[in-house]
Amino acid sequence: MSQWIWMAVGAGLVLSIEGLYLIYWRYLGSGSVRDYINEDQAPEGKYRILRKMKTPNQRIALVDYRGEMWIYGNGDVMFSTTEDEHMYAEVMVHIPMAAAGKRKKILIIGGGGGVTTREALRYSEVEEITTVDVDDVMLDFGKNLDALVKFNKGSLNHPKVKTVIEDGRSFVERAPAKWDVIIIDIPEPTNGCPQLSRLFSWEFYGLLKERLEPNGAISVACSTSSWMPEYFWSIQETLKKAGFHVLPYHNFVLEDGEDWGFCLATLFSVQADSLRMLVSTQYLTPEKLKDMFHMPYYFVNRHQKGKIQTDRNTALLDIVNDAF
């Protein structure tokens, strides 16, 4: 009998060790969920990871949460099929579209999900949209992942849309074209991806100035800036240093308690109260539009603070690191 007991104990130990190894691998080791989904970015409640993969640019996770699709890059949500994504895309696209003198040629940098492209396609005068993303997997999701294609209405497969797999800075440097509207929708630089700073730099903004039509407009996503307003201010000051007129705006999402900052940059002066939506929008009502350009006290750059991001410094990365 004792022999059977010892065999059972041994088997139990083996199973326990295997179980502990799986837990370590999943939560702390190389297969860790934390490598793919940052704790503060995880959905609230049970979710299912459909797929994890590593590309030369980032770690990607495809997540199902209550029937919605969330796509993560290096731990942060890149895009999703949530109501928030509708709001974000409207704010990102329709403000510069309203400010620009014409809307024939559009450049979107960081448009792998296809949602901003979907919104840009709503303008009948649009003739060509170039959507650039550094990661072919993200663009493939936007083109072929059923849930995302349904959400973006097949925008990345539209005949007016040209998709480019390339670093946005490199693409603009070699492209001879000029655009009426340029949309820069990329995450903030991090220690894991410090090269993103080059898409926020004075040198890059100077290049965009050359590639923008005289009556064109640019929008720049400035992250959830309520907890690091210096980041928002630094982008504003860098754009000004490059020669742009800058009109900051923000979008507070009550459900999440997050306040997203944006910059509208033009080569001519724009008054916020002169902007009118040129297509019907679900979220950007006249009241909401007015509120977005009324900056709360924690966003107002009264003392012209903000560091100039260049190709040679780590101004924005330092601000992000200090915020954590």
User: 152-186 in b/e burial notation, b at 16+ Cβ within 10 A?
Assistant: bbbbbebeebebbeebbbebbeebeeebbbbbbbb
Sign of CA dihedral 25, 29, 30, 31: positive
State the Cα–Cα distance between residues 171 and 163, nearest whole angstrom. Answer: 12
Q: In what order do the strands lie in the sheet with 68-73?
A: 48-54, 59-65, 68-73, 76-80
Residues with Cβ within 8 Å of 40's Cβ and at least 6 positions away in sequence, in order, are none
Task: Identify whether 185 is a catalytic site residue.
Answer: yes
What is the separation, in whole angstroms, between the first and last Cα of the chain? 58
State the Cα–Cα distance between residues 274 and 315, nearest whole angstrom. Answer: 33
Active-site pick, 135, 167, 180, 185: 185
State the Cα–Cα distance between residues 287 and 271, nearest whole angstrom. Answer: 16
Question: Which positions are catalytic?
Answer: 185
